[in-house]
Amino acid sequence: MIQPMQHLWAPWRMAFIKGEKPAGCFFCEAAGADPSEDEVRLVLARTGRSLAMLNRYPYNNGHLMVAPVTHLANLEDLPPTTASDMTLLTQRSLRVLRDVLKPHGFNLGINAGKIAGAGVADHVHQHVVPRWDGDTNFMPVTADTKVLNETLATSYQQLRAGFDRIT
């Protein structure tokens, strides 16, 4: 028997759906900001070439993004040292997420271009989405229910402590 779809109110996604995003590139703004602003900008970790930050419009708890500091749209245009740095920061992100949130798996991906679903098409970035048995699919289009059981502030505090602890 097909169950009727349940609806969950998630008002934080409406600004994203309506396209009400601030002008400019939030990756570049975060990269250029003083580290004292990291909590407000949801920056979890920085290297000389990359940064990891929580997604303001997450698909799941702990959904973060790894981006180069350099504003480039295409993965193939990244210098090898930057591409390598992004990979190393992604690996560190996976270690932290496994330690702090204990997910059962991950979705990792780059949406290359607006047509491919990139919300920020002109600054390449990789999504790291923790997954648990029984959660909804990656893009909950046909899901019965989607629950984010933690605020961004709580996720940030827990994950930032993990990044401070785990290299």
Residue type, 56: R
The encoded tokens of residue 153 equal 């502030």
- The DSSP result for 132-160, as a single string, is -TT---SS-SS-S-----S-HHHHHHHHH
The answer to whether the beta carbons of residues 44 and 156 sit under 8 Å apart is yes
- Classified as helix, coil or strand, 127 is strand
Selection from 55, 122, 124, 117 nearest residue 86 by Cα: 124
Active-site hit among 63, 123, 125, 127: 125
Q: Which residues of 129-138 are buried (b: 16+ CB within 10 A; e: fewer)?
A: bbbeeebbee
Residue 46 φ then ψ, to 5°: -135, 145
Instruction: Mark whether 125 is an active-site residue.
Output: yes
Report the catalytic residues: 125
